[in-house]
Structure 1
């Protein structure tokens, strides 16, 4: 804990300055690596001990999460990710108007997250505090641990596997959907539903016995231990005593408990259905998988999740999907298109961004390979396999056949598979009960390799995802100047805006997925006739265009120069990161 505190103190004194081509890894102090190493060593020592120390392990895992996901918060000193500021604006709109406005954006058709956060922060009278936006990733990462612990405890072979799965979960959850967003809240709710179902409504695991002569038996001298699934019954069920290893026999489940659990799941599924477009259907799919492999004792659980998702989509979100049928159903049955839209090609992106993309793919590939090793080790030791965890990890792949989700479907697939990949990774080092010396050394080496890759995967795009006070100051100047009903244009979607007065203006981003507005002349043609228009140009926007969309180097500076020299645009304010312009001329 001392090392973690020292790391945060040191990080607070680091001047991030210009973000390097690989993101925050260039600015992270050496104390970060020392803190991660200290946590890993402590965890390995505790896993090697003869008995479980749950409170001590829980504290150390929590410290590891704070170091991994909180160091960037202290380094940058301001709420990162432009979309977090947009979500703050949606929350503020509900605080002010006491209503939702589906015509503003799709998010208002799934408003539960915003109404909940509006209720939480309504007392301060100033919208969502910046500190809440800044620390939201750490809050959500810590909140995930409790339901994931229950999930892992019921899908494990031992307490060691459970705690190691929590460690890997902290390293594998790099997708960046833990900021102040409906996705983060929806993911937490889905984990809570899965934990409740496994805790109260599950059956003991069943092994698929594998009679494979090439699978070696247990090494000589290593005899069976209590809870070792290698000694299975002939029908594939667990032997006596194994359930207690996974927490399955810790409580006696009365019918009244199951009724309460069903009511609780129904409530969570309803809240989830009104919070996010995609997660409710993924949860229904995963619950269906649990029932299909006979881990759930009733088909009503997945049906409840499906029913809640369909009810909200067909009633609460009808204003959105009825006018966006092509967006909703256009990519159904076309996985190639969904995958292609999710991958930035090297020819399109800059060389620096291509490195980040390929390192992300490498990291995801290594995690997937480690999961396969975990499956192989379980098969070797148990001479069979419980299909629950592999099936849950593979289930989200079905999303590529349904939606491209704005080009993010591959990232979402990985996000939903992350908890179960973490469990399989834990099995690669603790296939059943023990963490042997060689496995401990391999574990430390694996996490040492994962640490820099995690930093690049999660924080490699900070050059256009980091928000500074100067970026927010531009937005404040914009909304102080813009009259209600005006149109506001951003040169790319990466901009801290819409954090206030979101319903009073129309917001348009150009250069969103392709570089289609290279100069002022093309921008003027896109400005609406008969409306007062404003344009925001900043360093964050131009960096996104240059690094991701293939815009020429220096394009942003040239664009701002053209805007400043054009008599049709009046510069209202400027600072070190950009300027705000009002269009005052004729098209």
Structure 2
């Protein structure tokens, strides 16, 4: 697979340029050398010994050297007189595979514990044909899980490990498809376009490309932008005219920079027929509906990006943001009722309205109090974000100095920042914001090195000083590219000690299902998390919990003795526990036994992944898990159900004489009925139909004929007011009703 980007094959360098003597075949051999250096030394290397620095500590030096060679080869290819599309496309694919398939090659099963929880959702929907809105909040957005379940069942796939394992690489390659459409829109030379496409997978170290609604929603988001920008920008682009001083005396350079006339930073819109445009409008509506049904956050970015593009004159579908908002509000109010009904304030608006606190929680708040290496990795993530943002600023300035108005790239960059006013998203909103900023950031960052919109003309005789200057972008771009690629390998796999899932941890959950014989299971697990009176420890262990028979499991944490540390944290200012104090904590078998006595079918789950997580994040001794399992093996009160080098499962030798808990009865879709709900279920589809028809009519009218849209507006306006009133009525009437 390669990315096709149209480029003007205009000669740009003199034959005297030393780099011109490098033929494409030599660069191809260099790419082959880098690939061999990167992959061959990895034979036999495993990440089992990874520490707080993650995978970077176990990678062989030749692998790192191979990464440098691959990066340098790509930048050198950009320095050729003419574009070599095939070579550039192959290099980008090799870059994606080399960076994003590294852990998959080294580990036996799919990484990220969360992906196995998603496997549990898929398995439950596939097995039962239903959703369980009372089992997990993510069942209120089930479209992605249902789609994957349908496809795997249709093709006869029963073991999801291969799908889960390689989905990050597949998703990264799929992202290149809409990105290649967006890159065609930008008014830039071929070097900037190819460098932007290369930067995208290199700067995307966030790790949200595994089999998840976020990855699927992000792919839809990129296609949404690609369709909007390719086919629905105005035919005549709005440009920056001169300010009031622009027609008088010669303005200063600073005034011209900010207020002088500017050319649009995008090429003219691609013209297609009316029927094709109508089909594309329906496709945009389908993307909005699918994205809304699949993920909680992504629909907001659909709406905000479309609205911002309308405001700056780069989208002619002016009613599309309203249409998307109606879909979003309708889904939240009716289809996600099971999510917000217990407490709208603590679900829909959790962390909202306090962007500064959300930002701190997502950045410095994620720096661990345990292993210093983990804190350094977290700081490096912040540094990499700042580096990318600095490059975007430089690119924006260099383009504006050339009289180019890159408002589309700028809008794509800044709109995601508004998500900080929404939920904190479990402390991950900063990562999601950075992820959605990338489509705009990579273009502006590429412009920092290659700002000219057209190829530089050939000059037969170039003075020596100018020839030196021509090398500067290549040298600087190579340095920046190596820095970003090295940063990727460090931060993307920086948590690999507790993000790699081991086969024994999957077998541990299988053993509980087998031993319980279909009865509800209470999993007791040990956490070293320090909590205060205002906080609660995590609900689930680090691991592939509930990856099968999701409805059978519930979880209880058994905490270390931690009252002295919680008291210190409550002081003003808080006093952080010392490393010695953290290491001195230990769980008690008596406390674990008490937690297991609450249920007649309790199991203690202990695993390597949870041991590493507690050690690195909360300062527990490195061998605490091993010592705990030795104590459990020696105690007559506990019976071992399963054990290998990765995990162990125990239950009480004498089960408690307490009534067995009734199994959780999963609830399907619950809409919730208020007095006006039936009217809302009628208003919503009618309003969506009117708004869609309005946009279909709009694309067939000239700017002078827009008055013909008034009948659609007259019908839509009262329907919209009625729907909003019903949504408010539902929140007031149904909010707080227990499930």
TM normalised by structure 2 equals 0.71
Q: How does 1:301-312 map to 2 (within 5 A)?
A: 301-312=320-331
Alpha-carbon separation, structure 1, partners of 2:367 and 2:113: 24
- SS of residue matched to 1:429: coil
- Contact persistence 1:166–1:422 (CA under 8 A): yes
The structure 2 residue matched to 1:534, chosen from 583, 586, 603, is 603
- Would you say 1:276 and 2:345 are equivalent positions? no
- Counterparts of 1:267 and 1:391, CA distance in 2: 23
Q: Which residue of 2 aligns with 1:105?
A: 136
Gaps of 5+ in 1: 218-229
Q: Pairwise mapping of residues 539-558 of structure 1 onto structure 2 (< 5 A)? A: 539-558=608-627
Q: Is the 8 A contact 1:32 1:71 kept in 2?
A: no
Assess, with a 3 A threshold, how the Cα gap between structure 1 residues 178 and 92 changes in structure 2: closer, same or farther: same
Q: State the Cα distance separating 1:445 from its structure 2 match.
A: 1.0
Secondary structure at the residue paired with 1:282?
A: helix
For the pair 1:332 / 2:352, whether they are aligned, the reply is yes
Which runs of no fewer than 5 residues in structure 2 stay unpaired?
1-30, 244-250, 457-469, 527-539, 567-585, 659-739
Q: State which drifts further: 205-214 or 532-541.
A: 205-214
What secondary structure, in the 3-state scheme, does the structure 2 residue paired with 1:462 have? coil
| Alpha-carbon distance between aligned partners in 2 of 1:490 and 1:300, rounded to the nearest angstrom | 51
1:196 maps to which residue?
227
Distance in structure 2 (CA, Å) of the matches to 1:398 and 1:511 = 37
Q: Contact between 2:394 and 2:445, CA under 8 Å: does it hold in 1?
A: yes
The aligned residue for residue 521 of structure 2 is 486
Tell me if the contact between 1:527 and 1:533 (Cα under 8 Å) persists in the aligned partners.
yes
**2:501 counterpart of 1:467:** yes
The answer to whether 1:372 aligns with 2:393 is yes
In structure 2, relative to structure 1, the CA distance for the partners of 1:427 and 1:545 (3 Å cut) is same
CA distance, structure 1, for counterparts of residue 97 and residue 58 of structure 2: 17
Match of 2:361 among 321, 324, 341: 341
Structure 1 match to 2:373: 352
1:47 maps to 2:78: yes
Instruction: Measure, in 2, the Cα distance between the counterparts of 1:398 and 1:563.
Output: 50
Structure 1 position 502 matched with structure 2 position 550 = yes
- After superposition, the Cα gap between the structure-2 partners of 1:347 and 1:70, relative to the gap in structure 1 and judged at 3 Å, is closer
| 1:455 corresponds to 2:455 | no
Judge which range, 3-12 or 300-309, deviates more: 3-12
Structure 1 residues 122-201: aligned runs within 5 Å: 122-123=153-154, 127-201=158-232
Give matches, 1:252-331, under 5 Å: 252-325=271-344, 326-331=346-351
Structure 1 CA distance for aligned equivalents of residues 242 and 382 of structure 2? 32
Alignment partners' CA distance in 2, 1:362 and 1:110: 34
Shift of 1:147: 0.5
The answer to whether the Cα contact below 8 Å between 1:207 and 1:387 also exists between their aligned partners in 2 is no
**What is the alpha-carbon distance in structure 1 between the residues aligned to residue 559 and residue 157 of structure 2?**
32
Deviation at 1:561, TM superposition (A): 4.0
Query: Which residue, 418, 431, 439 being the options, matches 1:411?
Result: 431
User: Matches of 2:559 and 2:66 in 1, distance apart?
Assistant: 41
Q: Distance in 1 between matches of 2:228 and 2:395?
A: 24
Q: Could you say what secondary structure the match of 1:466 adopts?
A: coil
Q: Closer, same or farther in 2 for the Cα pair 1:92/1:365, shift >3 Å?
A: same
| 1:363 Cα deviation from its structure 2 partner | 1.4
Alpha-carbon distance change, 531 to 431 in structure 1, aligned in 2, over 3 angstroms: farther
Q: Which residue in the other structure is 1:81 paired with?
A: 112
Task: Tell me how far apart the structure 2 counterparts of residues 145 and 528 of structure 1 sit (CA, whole Å).
Answer: 53
Deviations 1:426-464 (A, max 9, x none): 111111245842111111111112222111111000000
Q: What is the SS of the residue equivalent to 2:645?
A: coil
Which residue number corresponds to residue 480 of structure 2? 446
Q: Secondary structure at the match of 1:496?
A: coil
Using structure 1 for the length normalisation, give the TM-score. Answer: 0.88
Q: Secondary structure at the match of 1:570?
A: strand
Shifted more, 126-135 versus 258-267: the winner is 126-135
Q: Is the 8 A contact 2:503 2:646 kept in 1?
A: no
Larger deviation, residues 15-24 vs 520-529: 520-529
- Are residues 1:398 and 2:429 paired? no
- Aligned-residue Cα RMSD (Å) equals 3.0
What is the alpha-carbon distance in structure 2 between the residues aligned to residue 392 and residue 498 of structure 1?
Answer: 37
Matches of 2:375 and 2:121 in 1, distance apart? Answer: 33
Quick one: distance in 2 between partners of 1:369 and 1:270? 36
Q: C-alpha separation between the residues in 2 aligned to 1:544 and 1:167?
A: 33
> What is the distance in 2 between the residues matched to 1:423 and 1:443?
14
